[in-house]
Structure 1
């Protein structure tokens, strides 16, 4: 496997605490077209006895990280074609471990639709934006004295107000595209944010199954999966509105510290306006969507696990009720395997009998079976439907008659 695949296997191994060899063997089986149940049941010697849950986890993570590696290659190629790829940027891209982190890095280089910022750049206002951001040592004079140099009637920049506003849009876009700023906002909002739900006016006086969410707030980081799904359903049905509240003032102050180096600069109000526009209209709405999607994905996975466990318990309920059962796996040359379970489903005894061709140890088989019956009083005999099943069925019927035992089989 190539370097990308090696990275994927290493990442999965670290995440699941499974050896890289087991991961690699399992991936090879999956890529060969084998299903998860088949691998878990019939290829234990290859996977190291991984169960279905572990095999499924490997399949899911291999798909995710393979897509991540493919996306990295696409992004590196795109930035390289723009002539903007540096060794440092390439290293950052290759070290990304999540799709969100990767897209944050790519954002400044992503082909863009026309925005207020791009229109302002086309109007020649980028130098003014750079001046505002980089020359904060200017503390005397007026902004208009500098902005007037960038008037461009052909591009509908007729006043200094329009020029400074365009420069603000450009600065706002630079802040929005800063991966470190976005990660900071995401981190703070996930750890300290609150999910808030409000009932819509038309449902204020109506009783619904979502009444507990009419006026509800809860920490984003600790909201239980079942409540996330319930809130999502109520929102889809048009009963409530959902939003995330974060430490807005603290985050804005952190962004200001990053971009405002001199509070006495004549450009201060414009820089603050750009920061506010970036956070309010671009960064936070995007981060809010990302976090909603993330906690919904976590909730979906949790609900699937709960469903799987409930289904497992249902399927493992004794079909015959609470009865002691002797199960027989028929066989000719290798014998017929007998297992006895008690009323709780616990395996209490095992044996092998050879009552049919080619061994024909009928008396020994009768003795073993009678001993198991005397010790455990099984009430049902279940015979596997496969090789030698008819012969074993005939033997069991004869054995019950010979030993005068009344048990359904």
Structure 2
């Protein structure tokens, strides 16, 4: 994928671009890599490969759709994981963007080669457009529900244009909206109206904002910066049967053995630790010769 995107650049330059992009938007860059190469567990080669591929693909598709994708900046690799978009369609979307400039509204997708009404219906709600013609294109509201969204706005006394021009004022007025009363008068489903109302009332929330941010350390660069008994914060990088590997800022991750996770007996580290989690640990032992560090959570 990198060679296709930057055919004239050296492999080291492509690598540098990829690292930079992983800091800007990790999801958008990491979807270009086979998930098995990122490291999804110790025993991945012992299981049925077809089922593993299918299961990993489902997880990626769920995550991509949950986050929502910017239609005007997404690569074909990212677009190909959106519901209703196959690889060739994803490439057609990017080609259309190159030839015609940025998408101004979601309906424009129907002009892309290979996208019919059914595929559009599947994908539209997951693709957002910032600063498009229709302010609703930057929400999770599906185009088929735009009519309901406009009716909700009408109920509180504003038009779609006024909503776009003064979002803060419109959201203040929307606090007076009654879902129950609206449903009785219009015969719509409760969940549908609730979702549309919540999307109108709040900013488009990226679910990743609620996650803990990774720690980027500058104080621990080598073993000489460590001593036994030192308290640290680290990021869980991998969880295995015998414990977990924790990133504390060194070149190699440090080991938190299963026996050091808790004062109580633990039969499976996965029950208490998860990849990406930020935890407090203490340096238990340093093997400078083999460049290995062991950690403990006991006494913290």
Q: Same fold (TM over 0.5)?
A: no
Alignment TM class, shorter chain as reference: under 0.3
The TM-score normalised by the length of structure 1 is 0.21
CA radius of gyration, larger in: 1
